[in-house]
Amino acid sequence: MSAPKTYLNAVSAVPGATPVHVAVIMDGNGRWARARNFPVMAGHRAGAEAVRRCVRGAINHGVRYLTLYAFSSENWRRTPQEVGDLTTLLRFYLRHKVAELHREGVRLVVIGDVGRFESSLRDEISRAEKLTARNTRLTMVLALSYGARADITRAARLMAEAAIRGDLDITQANENDLARFLQTHQFPDPDLVVRTSGERRLSNFLLWESAYAELAFLDVLWPDFNEEHFAALMADFERRERRFGGRVEHRTVAP
What whole-number distance in Å separates Cα of residue 101 and Cα of residue 188?
Answer: 21
Q: Comparing C-alpha atoms, which of 177, 58, 185, 48 is closest to residue 109?
A: 185
2 occurs within a structural domain:
no
Which one from 9, 27, 123, 176 is the annotated catalytic residue? Answer: 27
73 annotated to bind ligand? yes
32 occurs within a structural domain:
yes
What amino acid occupies position 32?
Answer: W
245 occurs within a structural domain:
no
What whole-number distance in Å separates Cα of residue 128 and Cα of residue 28?
Answer: 26
| Pairing label, strands 138-146, 192-195 | unpaired
Beta bridge partners of 142: 68, 110
175 occurs within a structural domain:
no
What whole-number distance in Å separates Cα of residue 122 and Cα of residue 138?
Answer: 22
222 annotated to bind ligand? no
Q: Which string of DSSP letters, residue by residue, matches 222-251?
A: GGG--HHHHHHHHHHHHT----GGG----P
- pLDDT recorded at residue 179: 97
Active site residue 75: yes
Which one from 75, 135, 204, 226 is the annotated catalytic residue? Answer: 75
Number of domains within the chain: 1
222 occurs within a structural domain:
no
195 annotated to bind ligand? yes
pTM confidence score: 0.87
What whole-number distance in Å separates Cα of residue 76 and Cα of residue 78?
Answer: 5
What whole-number distance in Å separates Cα of residue 127 and Cα of residue 144?
Answer: 16
What whole-number distance in Å separates Cα of residue 159 and Cα of residue 73?
Answer: 22
What amino acid occupies position 75?
Answer: N
Alpha helices in the chain (DSSP H): 29-35, 40-60, 80-96, 98-103, 119-132, 148-165, 175-179, 227-238
Contact indicator for 49, 223 with CB cutoff of 8 Å: yes
Burial of 75 (0-12, 13-18, 19+ CB in 10 A): middle
37 annotated to bind ligand? no
At 194, phi and psi to the nearest 5?
-115, 140
Residue 202: give its domain's CATH number. 3.40.1180.10
227 annotated to bind ligand? no
238 occurs within a structural domain:
no
- pLDDT recorded at residue 110: 97
Active site residue 37: no
What whole-number distance in Å separates Cα of residue 214 and Cα of residue 11?
Answer: 7
197 annotated to bind ligand? no
175 annotated to bind ligand? no
72 occurs within a structural domain:
yes
Full pLDDT tens readout for the chain, 255 residues: 334 433 333 333 344 589 999 999 999 999 999 999 999 999 999 999 999 999 999 999 999 999 999 988 888 888 888 888 888 888 888 988 899 999 999 999 999 999 999 999 999 999 999 999 999 999 999 999 999 999 999 999 999 999 999 999 999 999 999 999 999 999 999 999 999 999 999 999 999 999 999 999 999 999 999 999 999 999 999 998 877 666 544 444 444
What whole-number distance in Å separates Cα of residue 18 and Cα of residue 237?
Answer: 7
Domain that holds residue 31: 21-149+190-211+227-232
182 occurs within a structural domain:
no
